[in-house]
Amino acid sequence: MKNAIKKISVTSILFILTACGGSSSDSSNQNLENAVVATKAFTHLTTASNTTANITVLDTVLYPELANPSVKIIVSQRIDELDLMGTLSPQNDHPIAVHFSPSLLQWVIVNIDGTSFDDGVRFNVLIPGNQGLSFEHQVSSANIPGASLVKEGLSGNSNANIFVSPVYEIGSPFVLANTSVRYNVTNEWYIQKEDGSAPVVGEKYNVYVPSSSEISVKVTPVADDDPIIIFSSRNSNSIGHHFFSLDSTNKLSLVNENFAASNVPSMGFGIRNADGADVTTDETFNVLVIQ
């Protein structure tokens, strides 16, 4: 009789624990699915300890997401004015790409023309959350010409602000050119190589389209200048990490230039040309602010 009582008690307890555990697990899973994962951003600075030749290694200690190849990072070059005299941080007038290193098992930034980085070069790095649209786009025979993004659900949205970083992979085609995004007459977005060359099957790009809850604008300069100021120092959007892409929609000429985000003391946030030439009224930029 005592054994029977013990058996019934244990079975009852197991039943209660299983029922409670199942309910709690379902609720927790639902909460996790609905949780907002914010987009992260930080500034990377090349140093002797994190950079070898044309490769600079990002910080996986502070940002462990960078060890995940499925996280499609976006990178913008950055050239800041360091003082009121206009002293600039080191300029990197070379096309860049992001690369998931198979040996380091993490994301790095590369100068894809093979030029070594100087110390002190700055990059803004974006780690997408789950609010915007983040994906890898690969050029195929189905989406040439123009590396069309039509298959990614962007057709018909001419107001989209799209941000792109070329992806370099060992042994695969890569983009030895600056790029822009362009909305064409067939109501499709595509990626354009600003040196006039055609996309090659196999080329890859990380793409990010911000959500409506994120701060993004489309800006055309009102006058030629270097830099152009996007947000004045009085504007709260001048604070944070800024990302940009060249939007060549309706532009007749190619602009094969290396642009950079730029913090300008007493003036605010702007975009400048890495070679020192003016940013002109022929150029339109998508700008994203992560605060």
Number of domains in the chain: 2
Q: Mean pLDDT, to the nearest integer, of 145-154?
A: 64
Residues 92 and 11 in one domain: no
Q: What's the pLDDT band for 176 if we cut at 50, 70, 90?
A: confident
pTM over 0.75: yes
Residues 168 and 142 in one domain: yes
Least confident of 28-42, 118-132, 166-180: 28-42
Domain match, 62 and 83 both: yes
Beta strands in the chain (DSSP E): 40-45, 51-52, 55-57, 74-78, 96-101, 106-111, 122-127, 133-138, 163-167, 179-183, 189-193, 204-209, 215-219, 228-232, 241-247, 259-264, 268-273, 284-290
Residues 13 and 108 in one domain: no
pLDDT at 6: 39
CB atoms within 10 A of CB 189: 25
Shared domain for 171 and 100, answered yes or no, is: yes
Q: What percentage of the chain exceeds 90 in pLDDT? A: 67
Q: Are residues 214 and 232 in the same domain?
A: yes
> Where would I find the H helices in 120-236?
none
Q: How far is CA 61 from CA 58, 66, 110, 125, 149, in A?
A: 9, 9, 20, 15, 34
Residue with the bigger pLDDT between 247 and 14: it is: 247
Average pLDDT, the chain: 87
- Alpha-carbon distance of 260 to 100, in angstroms, equals 23
Alpha carbon 2 to chain centroid, angstroms: 67
Provide the domain limits for residue 8. 1-35
Looking at residue 179, its amino acid is T
